Amino acid sequence: MKFFYTLFLLAGFINASFAQSEKQVKWSFTSKKITDKVYEVHMKAEINGNFHLYAQNAGVEGPVPTLFKFVSNPLSSLDGKVKEVGKLVKKKEEVWGGTVNFYQGSVEFVQLVKLKGNIKTTVAGSVEFMVCDDSKCLPPSEVQFKVNVGG
């Protein structure tokens, strides 16, 4: 019985720890019409306190870079790669063995989407990310999103 109690507590601790990165970053997802069939999907991260969020290219192996995964949609196509809009910090960190790339405060990621007609649809996917401060890193988190485009 002690084994199952210990296992239950450990599972709860692991589950709680994986949600920690998500608590340090507030994500918002919006779209902006550029032309009749072209939209920008904006994915904004508001980063708490002294934490920082790694760029899509973290600079070195070790920290988990921010990664966007999009659900395939036959009514639209992605145009190019996700762009980063914010003040990129490049800092040499001994713990990672090199220079890392990250954002503090806030950063916006922008993906261009082309619609295949004058239609209304959604752009859906997820973002995986990790945050650190000067003394610790939190386990990576993943947030799902869905944004309306068109119409």
Residue-wise pLDDT for 32-60, tens only, equals 999 999 999 999 999 998 999 999 999 99
For residue 9, the model assigns a pLDDT of 32
Residue 119's pLDDT is what?
94
Report yes or no: 90 and 100 within 8 Å, Cβ to Cβ.
yes
More confident residue, 134 or 100: 100
The CATH number that applies at residue 36 is 2.60.40.1250
The pLDDT score that the predictor gives to residue 21 is 75
Q: What is the mean pLDDT of the chain?
A: 89
- Structural domain that includes position 107: 2-150
Amino acid letter at 63?
P
Task: Tell whether the model's pLDDT for residue 135 goes beyond 80.
Answer: yes
Q: What is the pLDDT at residue 11?
A: 38
- pLDDT above 80 (res 123): yes
What is the structure's pLDDT at 19? 52
User: Domain tally for the chain?
Assistant: 1
Residue 107: both structure tokens together: 């950063």
pLDDT in tens, 1-27: 443 333 333 333 444 444 567 789 999
pLDDT band at 151 (very low <50, low <70, confident <90, very high): confident
Q: Which segments of the chain does DSSP mark as H helices, in order?
A: 2-18, 20-24
| pLDDT of amino acid 51 | 97
d(CA 140, CA 92): 21
